[in-house]
Structure formats: C-alpha cells, structure tokens
Amino acid sequence: MWITLLFGCTAMLVLNGTLYAQTDAELADVYFQKGECEKAVGLYQKVLRKDFNKIYLRRYVTCVVKQKSWEEAERFFRKQIKSEERFGYLYTMYAGRLLEIQAKPEEAQKKYAEAIAQISPQDLNAYKELSDEFREVENLDGATDALLKGRAVSGNEGLFKMELASLYAQTGKTELMIEELLNLGLAIQNKEAIQNYLQDFLRDEKDQAKFEKILYEKIQRQANEPFYAEMLIWFFSQKKQFSKAFIQERALDRRFKYNGIRVYDLGSLALQNKEYAAAVQCFEYVVKEYPSGQLYPFARRMMIAAREEQVKSTYPIEELAVRQLIGDYQKLLNELGKNTKTLEAMRSLATLHAFYLDEKDTAIVILQNAVQIGRTESDFVDKCKLDLGDIFLLKSEPWESALLYAQVEKSQRETPLGYESKLRNARLNYYKGDFALSKDMLNILKMATTREIANDAGWLSLLIEDNTGLDTSEQAMRDYAAVDLLLYQNKTNEALNELDKLFVKYKNHTLSDEILWLKAKTYAKMGNNQKAVDNLQQIVDNYGQDILADDALFMLADLYQNQLKDKDKAMTLYQQMLEKYPGSIYVVESRKRFRTLRGDAL
C-alpha cells in the first residue's frame, strides 16, 4: 500500500513505510499510467504552466478526453495560449483537437487556422513542429497546411519538399507528391535518393501512369534539362521496358553528345535482364552512330552476343539463325581482325560450331587459334581450355576433357574460374558413374565464392545423394547419368527414348521425378511446350513433397506466362508457389512476377 503526501510542489510517496520524493510531473505520470486521469489532470496543468512539454500536453489531452472535462480544459487552454509565447500555437492546435472530438468541426478548423497564424514568420522550425503534431493526431490536412504556410512566408519554394511529398502520398494526392519529389531531385541532383522514395510510393499502376505522364510533360517543356529524361529511363528500366528506355536514352545521346556511353550501358543492362531485342537496339545504335568511337568494337561484339542469346533462348533453336550468327561473327573478325579485342568473339564462334552445328573439329581449330593469339592473357587461355574440355566431352573423349579441366584447376586455384573447372570435373565424374568422387568435389564447391557455382554444385550433389546408396549396384543412377550425357551431347531423340524406358523401369524409384524433370526441360528446349507442361504437371500433382516440386511449379508458371501466354493460369501458379512453398528460392521472383502480371509492380 502507498500514500501520497503533498508539500508545496513536491509529493512524497510513502511505500511500505519509506518516503520517496517525486516531482509533480513524475507523480502525474504515475497516475496516468494507472489510468487515474482525475488525479493526473491537475498535476499536468500545474507542470505545463511552469514548463512546456509536448509529451505532458498530449497526456493531458488524453485525460481530458477520457474525463470529458471540456470546460476546465477550455479555461486552461485560454490562459496558456495568452501566456505561452513560444508554444501558444500548440495549445491552440490541441484546443482545436478537443473541439473536433466534441463534434464541433467548424470551430475546430478555426482553431487550426489560428494555430498556424500564431507562428512567427522567422521561426520556420515551428511550422515543421506544428505539422508533426498534426500528424501525431492524424490530421494530415492540418499537417500539410502548416508546411505550406511555412514555405509561403519563407519565400523558399524548396522548403519541406520531402515532408510534403510524404503527406501527399498518404492522402492520395499522387500528382502533388510526384511534383515535390521531382523538384527536390532536380534541386539536389540526386536521382538515387528520389528513386528510392518513388519505389515506395508508386506501387499502384494508376500512380505509375501519372508519373510517366508528368515526366513526358516536363521533358517537352524543358528539353534541355536531362534530369527528367534520366528519371523516365530509370522508370522504364524498373518496369523492364528497355525499348522505351532506349528511345529516351537515344534522344539524350543526340542532344548532349554522350558518345553512346549511356546507350551502351543501357544495352548491357537489358542484356543482363534477358531483354535481348532491346539490347540489340542499343548496341546497334552505338555501332551505326559511332563507327570510329572507342566503343565501336565492343558494341559490335555485344550486338552479336545479344542476338546470340536471343537465338539460344528461342525454342526450338533454328540452324539457319545459328548460321547467320556465325556469318555475323565472321564479318566482325574480317573487319576488326583476329586480335585481343576480338578474342571473345572467337570463343563464341567456336561454341556455336560445336554445340549447335555439331562441327566440333572446326570449333577446336578456332579455339586453338584463339589461344595462340591470346597466349599472354592467362585467364582467357584457361577459358578456352574449359571450352575445349567441353568439346572433347561432346566427342566422347572424356580423358582429354579431364586433362584440360585439371590444368585449369591447377593454374586457377581459389578463383571463380578454378571453381568452374572443378565443377566441370565433378560433372564429368558424374557422367562416368563415379558418384563418390563427384560428390567429394561437389561438397567442396558448395562453399564456393560464387553463388551460381555453389548452387549448381549443391543441386548435383543433392541429386547424387538422394538417388545412390539405395541398392548395391547404383544402376538406376548410372542409367540416368548416361542419358544426361546424351542430352549434353545433343543426342536429343535418343535421350528421350531412353528417358521413356527409364520412367517405366524406375517408376517407383526416387529418380522418377528427376526423369520427368529432365523430359520437361528437354521438350521445352525443343519448343514442344505442351509436352513440357504435361511432364511438369505430373511432378506437381504426384511429387509435391519432393525436392523438384517447387522447380517444376515455377517452370510451369513460366511456360504459361512466356510461352503459352496464359496470364491467369500463370498468376494462379505463382500464387500457388507463394502459398505452398514459402521457403523456396523462387518465392521472391514469383511474388514479383505475380505483381507484374496483376499490374501493380514498379
């Protein structure tokens, strides 16, 4: 039990016979926390008369509302507004707050206007403080009015831009929010900061359309100001509309004489995002506009590389398209010569001959020639050795492949290229059926420094681990690896026949879903999307708890989205991914694609 004794302005709290000194403020807080507002009100008034404190003012108002002691509060506020020079506007604002609670909106609005009018024009921080208090009580219109008045009396149109943008975003005044942010970005010349805010604010498709419209209008009115065009380019890039971004980037390049640098960078970004047609547009522009520029040889190479990726990702891959690419590379080499600037073009040319035209000996000659030209560049030589190892595997000469992989692994210790060589050696041993050695290598690679290599190693290691040790012969896994090698060697029809036999033979084996997965991927590469869908659907329906279930579901959704053009079905499958496999590596991408298809993702 405790008893309180008052001595002047100090209270004595008696607890278990012991006296504790407390200020009025501390005692008021005790009452407030216990919900005894009738005792706290008078103490808070007493404290506020001596020293202004926003926290105590808010708590006082809370108690007044709870007790509905309107008349007492009105008398208190009337005195405080007159006596408190520095913070009278806050008392006025809260007086208006109490009127609003009493359902007197017109009187409340007058008080809010008085609060803003009371601030000294020289005290700009007071406008910000009053705005914050309005926000505290969720009066966003009042918060906005306070900032606008502060801006008006200051004569500084750049004042409170970020604060106003936030308020406009909260109140749905999108155009005003965009204007504030763009004006701020132009003033501080910091696109990145503004872009971060816009990503938070522009989530609705309608708001994005308004943003695009406003930028176009500003570009037309201020053609010599690159900021707005750069923001529009960023906006299109975020939406992966790289062709639209290219139009703006091209206009900037012509107007401001950037020598193709920005267009080239946009092409590289489009290529990274697998937007190959737009990438070709960008590189082609640099090639045509700057034939004597420093970027010319690189743009020529990247233009063909983008076309190459476009051909490789369009199933089925057409031989005529591959031969046209080879012709493009030959023209490039004829024009620029075989030198250090065209070494990567030679590598690409060799790969096309080997993997897409089955002209393996031609590819070997090209790579050997490239090694001679680039012999002083050790990394390039080792890349060519890996390519040669792959080609010898195509030729069914695995010992030659193993020798080349080992050479690169030795010369590139603890580098990404060294890890890549070890991964290829591990895959080679998997093809040969030496699963123990392959798994030992893969376990090391799972800790590799590059995510791609670690992921590939982890996947192959898991495949081996899940499907070996079930019987003494490991014959099922050997049969599966042999078919996998046939696919690597582009013996597609033979491999599909063997996969059909394997599925019948090992239908009750843990490999059954892997067999369906391999069939689905193979049919997809052949352009037979319906058969790919059928095999993936079997995995989703019958192997929903196995390791390939989320892979199959994501690939199925991707096929419906990008090949079968069934938007609704794709959305359903992405939604299924989010609900059924929340821990999947595909969740983030699935959510992004779902929102894009729904039309609300920036």
Nearest to 271 by CA among 232, 251, 291, 298: 298
The DSSP element (H or E) to which 458 belongs, if any, is helix 451-467
Please tell me the predicted confidence (pLDDT) of residue 473: 64
Please tell me the predicted confidence (pLDDT) of residue 81: 87
The radius of gyration computed from the CA coordinates of the chain, to the nearest angstrom, equals 35
Residues 6+ apart with CB under 8 A from 311: 317, 318, 321, 322, 325
Please tell me the predicted confidence (pLDDT) of residue 514: 93
Residue 499 is assigned to a structural domain of this protein: yes
Q: Which amino acid is at 57?
A: L
**Residue 447 burial (CB < 10 Å; 0-12/13-18/19+)?**
exposed
Rounded-to-integer distance, Cα 408 and Cα 306, Å: 28
Distance of CA 538 to the CA centre of its chain: 32
Is the distance from CB of 273 to CB of 289 less than 8 angstroms?
A: no
Please tell me the predicted confidence (pLDDT) of residue 187: 87
Given a cut of 70, the residues of the chain with pLDDT beneath it are 1-21, 469-473, 600-602
Residue 293 is assigned to a structural domain of this protein: no
User: What are the structure tokens assigned to 329, written together?
Assistant: 């590379």
Cα–Cα distances (Å) from 243 to 263, 266, 276, in that order, read 11, 10, 10
Rounded-to-integer distance, Cα 178 and Cα 404, Å: 58
Residue 485 is assigned to a structural domain of this protein: yes
Q: Which residues pair with 14 in a beta bridge?
A: 3, 19
**Residue 28 burial (CB < 10 Å; 0-12/13-18/19+)?**
buried
Rounded-to-integer distance, Cα 231 and Cα 208, Å: 13
pLDDT digits (tens, 9 = 90+) for 84-138: 878 888 888 888 888 888 999 999 899 899 999 989 888 999 999 999 989 988 9
Q: Which amino acid is at 417?
A: L
Distance of CA 313 to the CA centre of its chain: 23
CATH code, 535: 1.25.40.10
Residue 288 is assigned to a structural domain of this protein: no
User: Which phi and psi angles does 22 have, rounded to 5°?
Assistant: -135, 145
Residue 133, SS3? helix
Distance of CA 29 to the CA centre of its chain: 46
Please tell me the predicted confidence (pLDDT) of residue 521: 94
Strands (E), 496-538: none
Residue 4, SS3? strand
The angle formed by the CA atoms of residues 584, 586 and 587, to the nearest 5 degrees, is 75
Is the distance from CB of 278 to CB of 237 less than 8 angstroms?
A: no
Please tell me the predicted confidence (pLDDT) of residue 13: 53
User: What are the structure tokens assigned to 594, written together?
Assistant: 């779902």
Residue 536 is assigned to a structural domain of this protein: yes
Cα–Cα distances (Å) from 557 to 139, 546, 570, 577, in that order, read 45, 18, 5, 9
- Would you state the torsion angle of the CA atoms of residues 557, 561, 562, 563, taken in this order, to the nearest 10 degrees? 80
The total of structural domains in the chain comes to 1
Please tell me the predicted confidence (pLDDT) of residue 470: 58
Rounded-to-integer distance, Cα 274 and Cα 512, Å: 32
Residue 271 is assigned to a structural domain of this protein: no
Q: Which residues pair with 19 in a beta bridge?
A: 14
pTM exceeding 0.75: yes
Name the residue range of residue 561's domain.
Answer: 475-598
Within a 10 A sphere around the Cβ of 361, how many other Cβ atoms? 11
Residue 542 is assigned to a structural domain of this protein: yes
Q: Which amino acid is at 308?
A: E
